[in-house]
Structures are given as structure tokens and as C-alpha cells.
Amino acid sequence: MNKQKIMLGAIGIAVFSALGASPSLSRDYPFCRKAEAGPGDCRYDTYEQCLAAVSGTASYCQQNFWLQPSGRDIPPRRAPRN
């Protein structure tokens, strides 16, 4: 009976861990709320949304460096002048 409870508990923990927030989902937004430590909370579409979330806290907003820019958003590089 105890082995069954332990096994059921372990399966429950594994299921809840798998259902947790996916890092890929948090990397789809361009702005993050950051505190001193940790990866941050990257679920803001606009800088203004992020600013509203950090209002009155010790957090700050920054661009999401995990977000990969699409090719059309990157300006073409120019050759340096000599």
C-alpha cells in the first residue's frame, strides 16, 4: 500500500512538473519584467504593459534577449567606409 502511494505521488509530481510553464512560451514576448535574480517574467507585448506591471515594485523592464528577431526586422549591414 505504501509503495502504491509513493508511486502515485511520484507520478503526480511528474505530471504537474510537465504541465508547468514552458520556457518557449515565455520567450515569445518582446518585453520582460526583471528583478535582481532569475530569468524574469517575459509575457508583455508592449513596453507600456511591462511598465504597468512593475509600477510600485523594485522590478524593471527590459527587452527580451531570448526573442529571436525575424529576418525582415534586421536592417541590412553596410560595408564600413575606409
Question: Considering the domain boundaries, does residue 10 fall inside one?
Answer: no
Residue 70 confidence (pLDDT)? 60
Instruction: Give the model confidence (pLDDT) of 26-70 as tens digits.
Output: 457 899 999 887 778 889 999 999 999 999 998 999 988 877 766
Give the integer Cα–Cα distance in Å for 60 and 50.
Answer: 8
Amino acid at 41: D
Task: Please give the residue range of the domain that contains residue 57.
Answer: 23-70
User: Number of folded domains in the chain?
Assistant: 1
Residue 8: pLDDT band by 50, 70, 90 thresholds? low
Residue 40 confidence (pLDDT)? 85
Q: What are the C-alpha distances in Å from 36 to residues 15, 31, 40, 57?
A: 30, 16, 9, 12
Give the integer Cα–Cα distance in Å for 48 and 12.
Answer: 39
Residue 38 confidence (pLDDT)? 74
Residue 26 confidence (pLDDT)? 47
Question: Considering the domain boundaries, does residue 5 fall inside one?
Answer: no
**Sheet holding 31-34: strands in order across?**
41-44, 31-34, 60-63
pTM over 0.85: no
Question: Considering the domain boundaries, does residue 30 fall inside one?
Answer: yes
Number of neighbours of residue 55 by Cβ within 10 angstroms:
8
